[in-house]
Amino acid sequence: MAPKFPVYYEHIHTCKQTGARLGRVHTPHGSFMTPVFMPVGTAASVKGMSPEEVSEMGAGIILSNTYHLWLRPGSEIIAGAGGLHKFMNWPGAVLTDSGGFQVFSLAKPKNITEDGVLFNSHIDGAKKFLTPELSMKIQNDLGADIIMAFDECCPYPAKYEYADKSLEMTTRWLARCIEAHQKPDTQALFGIIQGSMYKDLRQKSAEQITSFDLPGFAIGGLSVGEPKDLFCEMLAHTVPYMPEDKPRYLMGVGTPDYLIEGVLAGIDMFDCVLPSRMGRHGTILTSTGRKIIRDKKYADCYLPPDPECDCYCCRNYTSSYVRHLLKANEMFGLRLCTYHNIYFLLKLMERIREAVAEDRLADFAKDFQEKFYNS
Ligand SMILES: [Zn+2]
């Protein structure tokens, strides 16, 4: 039987030790193993990296931001190029967000109504109005394999009444997104569960959102500044309401410990700007924790930035050299740090998938956390 949706989940194994999932997501631009980390290419580029480099690191899917591409260069320009894949020469899968998160976080909305959100562009201050219908139109122009519903990412902390009203509006916006989506045969629309930090609201939103027959579902509004135990509590409470036969995506999560918590809770997909942003600030992730490679103490350290890593950067260069490049403001230094960080998270996910396949994810999680946080 032909798959019902252009993007679908194939389950491979459930970890007997933890219940975490190993699977494969199929898209019109290839398939990738899950749990997966998706590098972020905000403005149709993973900052500093060529698509060939991102591909050789093993990434099968990247994320791009609707908000940024809408404001610059404009979605018509990208549609004219034949869509985002062709525009940026990326052969793999692409996911675009709805623009909602950036409108709420970057552009500081002037007015949120049932109709949509009024805000000022962060580029030139121009007044803009984004609606569920317009977000779908832009994402149809961009042509990503997975597109996201326009939702309100509830600020943290939020009052119960606000969170309740907000999630109800997100559900009504999802119905409008489904109605406006022009390419359901080639682009998979995912719904987003909200509900802030209230268990009953998370349940209510999950039940409402998953009642729509969509190819996948996401959890939004977590990892927005709340304490980690609250994050874990909300996550554990929400995932059981999500269908088992569709991909589950936890939005905006990418620190090693949160990725592991997400997989343990049954999540398949993650994205975060952290590895590239940290890289550009001269900080790298290693198996023994974060390392500020700009620090003076690495001036004469002739070991690789992460001696346990086999990435292009760590195989060929020393901490001393990378630090020198950063201090001299050489672009190559930022590129090396970014390369390593993205590789590190992709490799971490690969090791997580191996642990799930071999029913030992709890052991792996314990060993990794001890080494990462106590070294
Ligand atoms: Zn490395």
Active site residue 213: no
- In this structure, are strands 269-272 and 36-39 parallel, antiparallel, or unpaired? parallel
**How many angstroms does the Cα of residue 250 sit away from the middle of ligand 1?**
25
pLDDT score for 292? 97
Instruction: Work out the burial of residue 202: count CB atoms within 10 Å of its CB; fewer than 13 is exposed, 13-18 middle, 19 or more buried.
Output: buried
Q: Quote the ligand 1 centre to 336 CA distance (angstroms).
A: 8
Distances (CA, A) of 51 to 44, 55, 59, 339: 10, 6, 10, 12
Distance 7 CA to ligand 1 centre (A): 32
Expressed in angstroms and rounded, the spacing between residue 51 Cα and the centre of ligand 1 is: 18
Bridge partners of 93, per DSSP, are: 61
Q: Which residues pair with 51 in a beta bridge?
A: none
Q: Which of 97, 151, 164, 306 is catalytic?
A: 97
The tokens of 142 are what? 């961009």
DSSP string for 44-108:
SS-TT--HHHHHHTT--EEEE-HHHHHHTT-HHHHHHTTSHHHHHT--SEEEE--SHHHHHHTS-
**320-356 pLDDT, tens digit each:** 999 999 999 999 999 999 999 999 999 999 999 999 9
User: Does residue 300 have an active-site annotation?
Assistant: no
Which one is catalytic: 141, 145, 164, 271? 271
Amino acid at 126: A
pLDDT of 204-227, one tens digit each?
999 999 999 999 999 999 999 999
Q: Is the pLDDT of residue 110 over 90?
A: no
Closest CA to 209 of 188, 195, 193, 189: 193
Q: At what angle do helices 331-357 and 361-374 cross, to 10 degrees?
A: 150
> Ligand 1 mean position to 343 CA, how many Å?
7
pLDDT at 108 over 80: no
pLDDT (tens digit per residue) in 120-168: 998 999 999 999 999 999 999 999 999 999 999 988 999 999 999 999 9
State the Cα–Cα distance between residues 42 and 46, nearest whole angstrom. Answer: 7
Beta bridge partners of 188: 146
pLDDT value of position 105:
83
